[in-house]
Structures are given as structure tokens and as C-alpha cells.
Amino acid sequence: MMAADADFSAGRLRRVLDAGRFAITAEITPPATLAASFLLDKALPLKGRADAVNLTDGASARAALSPVAAAALLVQAGMDPVLQLTCRDRNRIALQGDLMAAAAFGVRNLLLLTGDDPKAGDQPETKPVFDITSAALMQTARGLRDDAELPNGRKVTGTADFFLGGADAPVDPKPGWEPKSLAAKSAGGMQFAQTQFCMDLDVVRRYVAALDAAGLGGKFHLLIGIAPLASARSARWMRDNLFGTIIPDAYVERMEAAADPKAEGRAIAVELLRGLAAIKGVAGAHIMAPLNEASIPAVIEAVPDIRGAR
């Protein structure tokens, strides 16, 4: 079932968010492939469902199809990609070239990240680059968009309609906690934020309230990360090994007791989507499903009623 606005082409994510509608983005990992069809086989089930589709950049420090190429393929397929770019693998010249390529292909949404330590990947001898920070990369993208200019002052031709995003890991804020990282990203031009898995609605409410108290409410669109869990074992692994992941014990126990764990995981994700849509200050959800991407379309289809204006 498609959302009311049937145009899922480039720019949809921003249109949905700026209209005050609850946005749903989904993440896929480009495969290690030499064939475009393998990427499209993963992405096309999300067309007409997700408002935008994130394409990871060497996730888990493993080589895969270039996210710039993957994003270009999704634009050609009539979808709105979110291009993730990390500072781990390229110096500033290469990153600037990728930003220009993204603009040339009509890619609008950028999620600018630092990147995982390559020692965690399958080629641990890889030398990390980290020539610039994700904040500096955002400034570069902003300069290309607003001034058609590189950081060294050199002008470029053409235009870039970038919608700038950053990442965050929600916390259950303690007294005196300040969202310094998000405040700095917001000041640097961030327009939307997608978070790590936070599957505790009470934590989300307290986190959003703390952001509002810090003066960040309404400064950017906040999309909370969730997952359709595949099993109790995977839920525990995610919670114990993925930085910033929050998964309540109650959900792990439900997964353990379920006759069909994947169906239960989808049901939990649907509950979370409905709960997030009711929280003021939450603009949408970002669905990530490591090794369980096939579950995402059904989860999105289960909540057509939360996709309208709020």
C-alpha cells in the first residue's frame, strides 16, 4: 500500500518532513557486487513504501558497491536515496569529488558520518584516513550548496540541492546532561538527524524533552532508529555490540517466547512506529534491519494511518 503522495522520487523526504508528516526511512547495505541488479533487487521493494532509502558507506568496514553509484541508481529508479558518506576511507579531495558527483546525479539527502574503525572489518590491515571530521564534511556540503564553492574558495559550476543530515545515539538523559554533539551539528547546518536504535518509547520521550529544554526543539527533523528484530539472539547481540543501541528486556523476552520470532519482531516494530508518531518532537522513524531487510516493507505497509499530517 503506497502513501497518499505517490511521488517517491528525489526530494520526497524533505517534502514529507517540511509538511509535518511522519516520515519513514529505511536502510539497506549495498552488496559486494559488480551488477546493478543486485542493488535494485534489495531497494525496489521499498519503492512506494519508504519515503527515502539510506545507502550505507562501507558498513562494518567492509568493501561494497560505492554508495554514490548506488544512490545514482536509486534516483534513476525514481526513488529518494539518503547517501551516507564517511570520513574513514577518503581524504578531503575524494570526498569533495563524491559530493559533486552526488549533486550531478540528482542526489539530495546526505548523512555525513565519521565511520567505523576499519579494524572491526574483514580487512583489519586497512589504513584509516580521517582527513577531516564529519562536521567539516558538512561544512563542505553546505558550501557547495549555498555558495557553489569548495573549502579553498574555488568556485564550481552547477547547483546542489543538498538536505543535510547527521547521526546521533539517544540517551536516557541524566540531570545536567547537555546535547552538545547535536547542538554543534545543528549549528553547522544539519537539517535532519537519524539515530541509532532506540526502542524504548519512554527513553525517547525523555530524550526529546531534554533536546527541547536545550533549545533544539524544531531546529531539525528527528528520526528515531528502530529495527524489526529477527530473533532474541540477534536482539541481544545488537544491544551488546552496536554502540548506543537501546532494546528493552521486555522485547527480548517477547522474542524468546514467540512461536514465530520474525513475525513478533515485525509486530514490535509496528507498535514502535505508532508510538513514535504520537510523540511531539519526533518527525519520523528510521528502520534498520541487519540481516533482516526483507521484513521492512511489511512493517511500513502495516502503518498507513500514521503517514499523514499531524
Tens of pLDDT, residue by residue over 155-202, are 999 999 999 999 999 999 999 999 999 999 999 999 999 999 999 999
| pLDDT for residue 206 | 98
- Is the separation of the CB atoms in 194 and 54 below 8 Å? yes
- Is the separation of the CB atoms in 185 and 138 below 8 Å? yes
| pLDDT for residue 299 | 98
What's the DSSP call for residue 153?
A: S
Strand residue runs (E) in 51-180 = 52-55, 81-86, 109-113, 163-168
Tens of pLDDT, residue by residue over 254-305, are 999 999 999 999 999 999 999 999 999 999 999 999 889 999 999 999 999 9
**pLDDT at residue 5 tops 70:** no
| pLDDT for residue 4 | 53
**Mean pLDDT of the 83-100 span:** 98
- Is the separation of the CB atoms in 91 and 131 below 8 Å? yes
Helices 249-257, 261-277: crossing angle, 10 deg rounding: 150
Task: Indicate the average pLDDT of the chain.
Answer: 95
Tens of pLDDT, residue by residue over 94-112, are 999 999 999 999 999 999 9
**Mean pLDDT of the 22-35 span:** 96
- Domain extent listing, the chain: 12-306
**CATH T-level assignment (fold) for domain 12-306:** TIM Barrel (3.20.20)
- Is the separation of the CB atoms in 144 and 227 below 8 Å? no
Strand residue runs (E) in the chain = 23-28, 52-55, 81-86, 109-113, 163-168, 192-197, 221-226, 284-287
d(CA 76, CA 9): 9
Residues belonging to the chain? 310
Q: Please, which pLDDT band fits residue 1 given cuts at 50, 70 and 90?
A: very low
